[in-house]
Structure 1
Amino acid sequence: MKNLNVGIVGLGVRGYWLMKDVILLMPGVKVTAVCDVYEDRNERAAKLTEEVCGHVPATETDYKKLIARDDVDVVVVSCAWESHIKVAIDAMKAGKPVGMEVGGSYSVKECWDLVDTYEATQTPFMFLENCCYGRRELMALNMVKQGLFGDIVHCRGGYMHDLREEVSEGEKNRHYRLRNYIHRNCENYPTHELGPIARILNINHGNRMLTLTSMASRSAGIQEYIKDRMSDDEKLMNTRFAQGDVVNTMIKCAGGETILLTLNTSLPRFYSRDFTVCGTKGMYEEENDTVFVDKKYTAEEEWDFKANWGNAKDYEKDYEHPIWQKFLNDGVQGGHGGMDWLVFEAFFDSIRNGEPCPIDVYDAASWMCISALSEESIAMGGHPVAIPDFTNGEWIRR
Structure 2
Amino acid sequence: MKRRDFLLAGAALGASVLLPSTPARAARRRVRLGMIGTGMRGQVLLRELLRRDDVEVVALCDVEPIMLKRALDMAAKAGKPAPKAYGEDGDVHAYRRLLQQRGLDGVIIATPWEWHAPMAIEAMQAKVAVGCEVVAGITLQDHWDVLETQLRTGTPYMLLENVCYRRDVMAALQMVRAGLFGELVHLQAGYQHDLRAVKFNSGDPDEPYGSGVEFGPKAWSEARWRTEHSVRRNGELYPSHGIGPCAMYTGINRGNRFTHINAFASKARGLHEYTVAKSGGTVHPSTRVQFKLGDVVTTTLACANGETILLQHDTSLPRPYSLGFRVQGTRGLWMDVNRSIHIEGRSPPHAWEPFQAYQDQFDHPLWRKYAAQAEGAGHGGMDYFVIHAFVEALKAQAPMPIDIYDAVTWSAITPLSEQSIAEGYRTLEFPDFTRGLWRSRKPIFAFDASY
TM-score range, shorter chain: over 0.9
Post-superposition offset of 1:29: 0.8
Structure with the higher fraction of residues in helix conformation: 1
Residues in 2 aligned to 1:99 and 1:90: alpha-carbon distance in whole angstroms: 13
The aligned counterpart of 1:343 is: 386
CA deviation digits over 1:71-107, x for unaligned, max 9?
4221100100111111011000000011000126321
Q: 1:269 aligns with which of 294, 319, 336?
A: 319
Residues in 2 aligned to 1:238 and 1:203: alpha-carbon distance in whole angstroms: 42
Q: 2:61 aligns with which of 22, 35, 40?
A: 35
TM-score normalized by the length of structure 2: 0.84
Residues in 1 aligned to 2:160 and 2:347: alpha-carbon distance in whole angstroms: 39
Post-superposition offset of 1:235: 1.6
Post-superposition offset of 1:30: 1.5
Task: Quickly say closer, same or farther: Cα 1:296–1:174, change in 2 above 3 A.
Answer: closer
Q: Structure 1 residue 127 and structure 2 residue 159: aligned?
A: yes
Residues in 2 aligned to 1:234 and 1:56: alpha-carbon distance in whole angstroms: 43
Q: Structure 1 residue 87 and structure 2 residue 119: aligned?
A: yes
Aligned residues: 390
The aligned counterpart of 2:84 is: 58
The aligned counterpart of 1:98 is: 130
Q: Structure 2: which 5+ residue stretches go unaligned?
A: 1-27, 88-93, 202-214, 442-451
The aligned counterpart of 1:370 is: 413
**What are the within-5 Å matches in structure 2 for residues 224-303 of structure 1?**
224-231=273-280, 232=282, 234-299=284-349, 302=350
The aligned counterpart of 1:182 is: 231
The aligned counterpart of 2:52 is: 26
Q: 2:430 aligns with which of 376, 387, 396?
A: 387
Query: The residue matched to 2:334 in structure 1 has which SS?
Result: strand
The aligned counterpart of 1:352 is: 395
The aligned counterpart of 2:185 is: 153
Residues in 1 aligned to 2:172 and 2:398: alpha-carbon distance in whole angstroms: 25
Q: Which moved more, 1:98-107 or 1:117-126?
A: 98-107
CA deviation digits over 1:319-360, x for unaligned, max 9?
111111212365634111111111111111111111000000
Residues in 2 aligned to 1:326 and 1:351: alpha-carbon distance in whole angstroms: 20
Residues in 1 aligned to 2:348 and 2:76: alpha-carbon distance in whole angstroms: 61
Query: The residue matched to 2:78 in structure 1 has which SS?
Result: helix
Q: 1:75 aligns with which of 89, 107, 112?
A: 107
Contact kept in structure 2, 1:104 and 1:370, CA below 8 Å? no
Residues in 2 aligned to 1:341 and 1:174: alpha-carbon distance in whole angstroms: 23
TM-score normalized by the length of structure 1: 0.95
Q: Which amino acid is the alignment partner of residue 111 of structure 1?
A: H
Q: Structure 1: which 5+ residue stretches go unaligned?
A: none
The aligned counterpart of 2:367 is: 324
Residues in 2 aligned to 1:331 and 1:59: alpha-carbon distance in whole angstroms: 28
Cα RMSD (Å) of the superposition? Answer: 1.5
Q: Which moved more, 1:246-255 or 1:162-171?
A: 162-171
Q: Which amino acid is the alignment partner of residue 295 of structure 1?
A: G
Identical columns (%): 37
Post-superposition offset of 1:12: 1.7
Residues in 1 aligned to 2:136 and 2:117: alpha-carbon distance in whole angstroms: 10
Task: Quickly say closer, same or farther: Cα 1:69–1:331, change in 2 above 3 A.
Answer: closer
**What are the within-5 Å matches in structure 2 for residues 165-176 of structure 1?**
165-169=197-201, 170-171=215-216, 172-175=219-222, 176=225
The aligned counterpart of 1:314 is: 357
Q: Which moved more, 1:287-296 or 1:330-339?
A: 330-339
Query: The residue matched to 2:412 in structure 1 has which SS?
Result: helix
The aligned counterpart of 1:144 is: 176
The aligned counterpart of 1:17 is: 44
Q: Which moved more, 1:225-234 or 1:28-37?
A: 225-234
Residues in 2 aligned to 1:198 and 1:183: alpha-carbon distance in whole angstroms: 28
Q: Which amino acid is the alignment partner of residue 394 of structure 2?
A: I
Post-superposition offset of 1:174: 4.0
The aligned counterpart of 1:46 is: 72
Contact kept in structure 2, 1:104 and 1:189, CA below 8 Å? no
Post-superposition offset of 1:239: 1.2
Residues in 2 aligned to 1:99 and 1:84: alpha-carbon distance in whole angstroms: 10
Query: The residue matched to 1:53 in structure 2 has which SS?
Result: coil
Residues in 1 aligned to 2:241 and 2:115: alpha-carbon distance in whole angstroms: 19
Post-superposition offset of 1:19: 1.3
Q: Which amino acid is the alignment partner of residue 353 of structure 1?
A: A
Residues in 1 aligned to 2:192 and 2:136: alpha-carbon distance in whole angstroms: 16
Q: Which amino acid is the alignment partner of residue 259 of structure 1?
A: I
Q: Which amino acid is the alignment partner of residue 385 of structure 1?
A: L
Residues in 2 aligned to 1:85 and 1:168: alpha-carbon distance in whole angstroms: 25
Post-superposition offset of 1:297: 4.1
Q: Structure 1 residue 218 and structure 2 residue 250: aligned?
A: no
Task: Quickly say closer, same or farther: Cα 1:144–1:65, change in 2 above 3 A.
Answer: same
Q: Which amino acid is the alignment partner of residue 48 of structure 1?
A: M
Post-superposition offset of 1:230: 2.2
